A = this chain, B = another copy of it.
Amino acid sequence: MNKIKGIFAVLLAVMIITAFISPAFLTSYNIENLLRRSALFGILGIGVSFVIMTGGIDLSLGSLVCLVGCLTPWLIIDVGIPAPWVLSGLLLLSLGLGLLHGVLVTKLRLQPFLVTLCGLFIYRGVTRGILSDQTVGFGTSGTVLKSLGNGRIPVTDTFGLPIPLIILVLVALGAGFLLRRTLWGRHLIAIGSNETAARHCGIEVDRVKMGAYAICALLTGIAGLLIVLDTGTAQPSNFGNFYELYAIAAAVLGGCSLRGGEGTVIGVLIGATLVQVLRNAIVLIDGIPEASEFAVIGAVIMIAVITDEVMRRRSGKNKLA
Contacts and interface: CB of A to CB of B under 8 A. Distances in A.
Interface of A: 59, 108-111, 113-115, 117-122, 124-126, 128-129, 131-133, 196, 199, 236, 245, 248-249, 252-253, 257-258, 289, 291-299, 301-302, 305-306, 309, 321
Contacts of A125: 291-298
A129 B291 contact: yes
25 contacts: A59-B245, A108-B306, A110-B305, A111-B252, A111-B257, A111-B258, A117-B298, A117-B301, A118-B298, A118-B301, A118-B302, A119-B298, A120-B245, A122-B302, A124-B294, A124-B295, A125-B292, A125-B296, A128-B291, A128-B292, A128-B293, A128-B295, A129-B292, A133-B291, A196-B321
Contacts of A236: 291
A133 B196 CA distance: 50
Given A111-B252, A113-B252, A117-B301, 8 more contacts: A59-B245, A108-B306, A109-B309, A113-B258, A120-B245, A121-B294, A124-B295, A199-B321
A277 B296 CA distance: 38
| Shortest beta-carbon contacts, A-B, top 3 | A125-B295, A121-B298, A125-B294
Contacts of A297: 121, 125
A248 B298 contact: no
A109 B224 CA distance: 34
Nearest to A297: B121
Nearest to A302: B118
A133 B111 CA distance: 37
A113 B293 CA distance: 20
Contacts of A292: 125-126, 128-129
B305 A121 contact: no
A263 B208 CA distance: 30
Contacts of A196: 321
A299 B118 CA distance: 7
Contacts of A301: 114, 117-118, 121
A120 B294 CA distance: 8
A197 to B, nearest CB: 11
Contacts of A309: 108-110
Contacts of A131: 291
A305 B104 CA distance: 10
Contacts of A295: 121-122, 124-126, 128-129
A186 to B, nearest CB: 22
Contacts of A118: 298-299, 301-302, 305
Nearest to A131: B291
A23 to B, nearest CB: 26
A128 to B, nearest CB: 4
Which residue, A109, A120, A131, A291, has most C-beta atoms of chain B within 10 A? A291
Which residue, A122, A301, A309, has most C-beta atoms of chain B within 10 A? A122
